[in-house]
């Protein structure tokens, strides 16, 4: 009898992992202004899932591999347009999703499998999912630790980075691939539609709290973990959807911090005016 045999224990571990992973990767997503890309990936990986279901292989492996294709397509179409992937991303989003729908409509009877994929269920994650999430988290953190400073420069000043001779396309691919594997790793817990919440929300909240880069990472990871754990707790207490509970907490925390910092700034300004 291992500690991980309990559904709730596995859910808690998964929550901590995806919370931390989403928070840390989210800092780069926010800095590079990639929330739309992240959102699009969740939809564009859809055909990969459908094909995987047709072939009877692991759904997330299918989604992950297809997502890498999408990343390559976005890079190819978005190249030479500075740091704006928006147009290419929009095409990948609608094109990928449409392809998935066509594939699904040509088949009968996997709506059930796919429901879990779209909304996720952290209480259903198995040990295999945990191993996969751990591997992704370790890989992502390694990449960010190794080329974090180059990714930072490429995000802040792409022409300056190119002027230094840094391989921009490779760096862009590394960052988009990091976001992609993070999305795929977060999907079992939150589902495709809500995964973006845990990648964008905690980092955006942390950004409201600090202007400095170094504290952004632990802060975003902490907020991500706290929201994920709170979501799991609420859903086991009241038997409501876990992914949605986590996403709701992310939204609530962002809203509260937004209001809090707005009130604080207003008070500061008032003091400054009086002084």
Among 49, 52, 174, 216, binds another protein (CB under 8 A): 216
One of 162, 208, 209, 229 touching another protein (CB under 8 A): 162
Is residue 160 close enough to count as binding another protein by CB under 8 A?
Answer: yes
Q: How far, CA to CA in Å, does 193 sit from each of 96, 139, 251, 265?
A: 14, 24, 14, 33
Cα–Cα distance list, 194 to 184, 187, 189 (Å): 12, 8, 9
| Torsion angle, alpha carbons of 252, 257, 259, 263, to 10 | 160
Is residue 68 a contact residue for another protein (CB under 8 A)? no
Does residue 94 bind another protein (CB under 8 A)?
A: no
Out of 159, 240, 259, 270, the only residue in the binding site for another protein (CB under 8 A) is 159
* For another protein, the closer CB: 99 or 162: 162
| Contact by Cβ (8 Å): 188, 120 | yes
Residue 150 in contact with another protein, rule: CB under 8 A: yes
Q: Which residues lie below 8 Å from residue 218, measured CB to CB, with a gap of 6+?
A: none
**Taking CB under 8 A as the rule, which mask of x and - marks residues 24-43 in contact with another protein?**
-------x------------
Instruction: Please report how close the Cβ of residue 163 comes to another protein at its closest, in angstroms.
Output: 4
Q: Rule CB under 8 A: is residue 213 a binding residue for another protein?
A: yes
147 counts as binding another protein under rule CB under 8 A: yes
Give the footprint of another protein on this chain (CB under 8 A).
31, 146-147, 149-150, 152-153, 155-157, 159-160, 162-166, 207, 210-213, 216
């Amino acid at each position: 009898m291992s500690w991980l045999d309990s559904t709730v224990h596995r859910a808690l571990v998964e929550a901590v992992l995806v919370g931390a992973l989403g928070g840390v990767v989210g800092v780069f997503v926010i800095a590079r202004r990639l929330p739309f890309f992240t959102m699009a990936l969740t939809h564009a990986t859809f055909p990969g899932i459908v094909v995987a279901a047709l072939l009877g292989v692991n759904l997330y492996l299918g989604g992950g591999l297809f997502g890498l294709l999408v990343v390559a397509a976005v890079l190819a179409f978005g190249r030479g347009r500075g740091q704006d992937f928006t147009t290419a991303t929009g095409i990948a989003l609608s094109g990928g999703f449409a392809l998935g729908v066509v594939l699904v409509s040509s088949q009968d009877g996997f709506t059930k499998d796919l429901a879990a994929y779209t909304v996720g269920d952290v209480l259903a994650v198995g040990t295999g999912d945990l191993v996969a999430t751990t591997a992704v988290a370790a890989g992502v953190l390694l990449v960010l630790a190794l080329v974090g400073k180059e990714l930072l420069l490429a995000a802040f000043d792409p022409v300056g980075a190119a002027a230094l001779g840094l391989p921009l396309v490779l760096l862009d691919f590394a960052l988009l691939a990091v976001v992609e594997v993070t999305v795929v790793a977060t999907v079992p817990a939150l589902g495709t539609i809500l995964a973006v919440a845990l990648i964008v929300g905690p980092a955006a909240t942390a950004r409201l709290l600090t202007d400095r880069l170094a504290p952004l990472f632990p802060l975003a990871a902490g907020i991500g973990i706290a929201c994920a754990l709170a979501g799991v707790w609420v859903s086991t207490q009241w038997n409501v959807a876990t992914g949605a509970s986590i996403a709701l907490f992310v939204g609530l925390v962002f809203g509260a911090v937004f209001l809090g910092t707005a009130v604080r700034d207003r008070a500061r300004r008032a003091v400054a005016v009086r002084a």
